[in-house]
Structure 1
Amino acid sequence: MVKFILKYHRLIAASSLLISSSTFAQITLIDQAQVLTDQDRLTLTTSGSLRLQALNFDQYNPSNESQKYRRDGYSATSRIYANLNYQMNPDLSVLAGYQNYINPPKILDWEGHYSSSDENITTEQAYVGIASKRYGTLKFGKIYSIYYDVVGSKTDLWDYDTLAQPQTWSPVAYYDGTQAGRKSLRYEKKFERFDIYLGYQFKDDTTTQGIRYQRESGQAVALDLHLNAQTHWATSWTHNAANLQRVDARHDFNQDTLASALFYFNGRWMFGLGGGWYKNMLPNYDALALPASASLSQFLNSEAYGFEYYAGYQFQIGHHAIKTVQPYVMGNYLDYTRGVDFSRRDHGVGVAVRFTHGIGFDYERLYTKDTWNTPDMHLFRLRYEW
């Protein structure tokens, strides 16, 4: 987590807006050949996205009361990327990646457009690595999970998404291998017909709800099959050895995720369909009221499954400053089969409009039925990408 004095927050936000106003493509900051030898090349690029989003529920009740500030607009994972690549020779490169989530309303103290618990800047990824065209790529640091990168992203195609994926609900998504994790070692190798991914997470810990979660170790493997030029089918498995500690009690357990997803895009039609099974990943908050030893054994003692779907068609416009218009239908379903009585189902329609100069607008109408009686919702998102 990175924190600065407020005046520097404002400087960073102003710089981001200035850059956005002048360009909307990936920005090359450095591109220098023959830095140390006659074969090497150093490149440094940056890109990003500013996303102002508003959620308008049909009504407000205890399930969404805390989200009232979002009616007037808030930052929906606005982000900045930086990527460095030092190509030593035609086969071997050293690389580094850095990604921050930024919260411009909080940085600029735009009252009513952020929650007091929001962070100004959150480091989402920070890693170094070495890449070989012959042997593959090895990375270490804080990296997106193999599960999300290979499987979850194939159905993360609409704005209010991943509601059937474990990282949305997990209280420790940055430690259990579902979102992103520090101290992660990752290997990937891409072939013509398939890609393979292997991951290992070293020991790490955090505290949530007064409970200390410790990941002893984590392993992940994924295979992404290229069925043809337009169609990919990916499957992943994640396993953790972990423990929970509270007062003088301790509970050791294992966590598993098995998931698969299919993605198709031919330049016009886009389809995504995926699902997964999650063991001891999703929480049972009712367990927090139990005595220490019982709360630990029940807090993540759950099984659940979920699936997501998306279907859209992209119309190429190419005039009146409109590049494309993509209407779509989407939905998801999540159900606990053990641990707590909870299920959620969302279905909806949306449209994504992309204008020139990196500007975009999205609208979604979501119909929800769940255990908490969450109301239906309208979503509006204005984005600027460079």
Structure 2
Amino acid sequence: MSKPCFYKLLLSCTFILSNLTFAEITLIDEQQIVSESDRLKLTTSGSIRLQALNFDHYDQSNENQKYRRDGYSSNSRMYANADYAWNERLHLIAGYQNYINLPKMLDWDGHYRSSDENITTEQAYIGLRDSAYGTVKFGKIYSIYYDIVGAKTDLWNYSTLAQPQTWSPVAYTDGTQAAHKTLRYELKTDKANLYASYLFKDSTTVADTDVQYQRKNGAELAVDVHLNKNLSWATSWKYNDASLNNQQDKHDLKQEIWASSLFYFDGKWMLSFGAGWYKNLVPNFDAYSESSDFQLQSLLNTEAYGVEFYAGQHFKIEEYGIKFIQPYIMGNQLEYTSGSEFKRRDLGVGIAARFNHGFGFDYERLYTHDTFQTPDMHLFRLRYEW
């Protein structure tokens, strides 16, 4: 079977499965596999997200994003989770998450870049969960910083612009987004959730350069405190011992994040605020663009801070095929305190609508002021979730 035919078959099967139910789909749920008290459960879920970005005008800062005007896949994803319960207390778990680029898979010209991947694995891990002592996971896993702090303000579509994973040239190796070879521990209680992880050695090549980034090791800690049933406050710390290498030079560096965020939702109002400080993680854009002759140590010799906020009001409808409508305002700011002159601020308004049968629509109007003079933008997103 050719690849295009295979991808079309995969997409067809996805729609068939998702039309069975518009929530998490249970593929396997069997008891007494090995013993009288065990149970195996395999579930899947996901979303298809087609998005269009329409800038007020196009110039050097956004010329390479013209293909996005007519629609492209924006973080369409599929999840698979396995849970083998040896007994009521002890569970062997596994998780898998990927991004799927449907226009690329279906060869929809003009709606993807030739360099895009068809499928990108975001997470793939195994673990052991004990109801009393917590959960241990190992594999490719999202950073604790993003999962616990950054996700609290990742509530709008064009978000995380003040977080380091958006700007880092190696976000899947330095662990600002995710990282291979991560050992992670979680303990959840009524008062607070505690997290810790250790990142083993890993390396990659910085895109469009001959520079190799190597993470020698890393560590993360976080706590998410439940202030009350509607309000939580998370704080995280992240550290990497890393190096940059090319054919002429080597530069050792220490990378660090301190970040904190608040999230509130009472069924009507959804509010969040987050801030972070990033050392040697976001690049020096001038040095990065002059990859042929820049000083190696200047690439990540930076300090920056980021701030994000979101405020939305939830209107439950449950009529005319509409589940809810949520208008919101949002904003962020990223600014370097050393190593670069770059800064960016975004302010905007948006509305999210969710309909029956898993469909949804989002619109955002974003007003941007930054060093690159990025134009203002309209964002449209169609989504389908199961």
TM over 0.5: yes
**Does the 8 Å contact 1:98/1:125 carry over to 2?**
yes
CA–CA distance in 2 between the matches of 1:16 and 1:117? 25
Q: Does the 8 Å contact 1:13/1:107 carry over to 2?
A: no
Q: Which residue of 2 aligns with 1:160?
A: 158
Work out whether 1:11 is the aligned partner of 2:40.
no
Deviation at 1:6, TM superposition (A): 3.5
Q: Which residue of the partner structure matches residue 172 of structure 2? A: 174
SS in 2 for 1:177: coil
Provide the residue aligned with 1:142 in structure 2.
140
Q: For 1:36, what is the secondary structure of its paired residue? A: coil
Within 2, Cα distance between the matches of 1:66 and 1:141? 34
Residue 40 (1) aligns with residue 38 (2): yes
Q: Kindly indicate whether the alpha-carbon contact (under 8 Å) linking 1:80 and 1:101 is maintained by their aligned counterparts in 2.
A: yes
Matches of 1:201 and 1:96 in 2, distance apart?
19
Task: Kindly tell me the number of residue pairs found equivalent between the two proteins.
Answer: 382
Q: Could you list the runs of 5+ residues in structure 2 that have no partner in the other structure?
A: none
Q: Normalising by structure 2, report the TM-score.
A: 0.97
Residue 196 (structure 1) aligns with: 194
What residue is the counterpart of 2:344 in the other structure? 344
Amino acid at match of 2:214: Q
Could you give the per-residue CA deviations for residues 311-366 of structure 1, whole angstroms, max 9, x where no partner exists?
Answer: 00110111100010000000000001111110000000000000000100000000
CA distance in 1, matches of 2:246, 2:256: 23
CA deviation digits over 1:63-113, x for unaligned, max 9?
A: 111111101000000000000000001110000000010000000000011
Which residue matches 2:320? 320
Residue correspondence of structure 1 range 163-242 to structure 2 within 5 A: 163-208=161-206, 209-242=209-242
Residue 100 (structure 1) aligned with residue 98 (structure 2): yes
Three-state SS of the structure 2 residue aligned to 1:122 is strand
2:343 alignment partner AA: S
Structure 2 letter corresponding to 1:159: N
Deviation at 1:249, TM superposition (A): 1.1
Q: Residue type matched to 1:54 in 2? A: A
The 5 Å alignment of 1:1-386 reads: 5-208=3-206, 209-288=209-288, 289=290, 295-386=295-386
Contact 2:4 2:107 in 1 (8 A): no
Aligned-pair distance for 1:23? 2.6
Q: How far apart, CA to CA, are the structure 2 residues paired with 1:189 and 1:204?
A: 26
Task: Describe the superposition over 1:249-280 as per-residue Cα deviations: whole angstroms up to 9, x where unpaired.
Answer: 11111000000000000111100100100000
Once the two structures are overlaid, the 10-residue window that deviates more, 360-369 or 294-303, is: 294-303
The normalised TM-score by structure 1 is 0.97
SS of 2:135 mapped into structure 1: strand
**What is the CA distance between 1:38 and its match in structure 2?**
1.0
In the alignment, the residues of structure 1 paired with residue 19 and residue 113 of structure 2 have an alpha-carbon distance, to the nearest angstrom, of 27
- Give distance in 2, aligned partners of 1:228 and 1:244: 44
Q: Is the Cα contact below 8 Å between 1:49 and 1:80 reproduced in 2?
A: yes
State whether residues 20 and 384 of structure 1, in contact with CA within 8 Å, keep that contact through their aligned partners in structure 2.
no
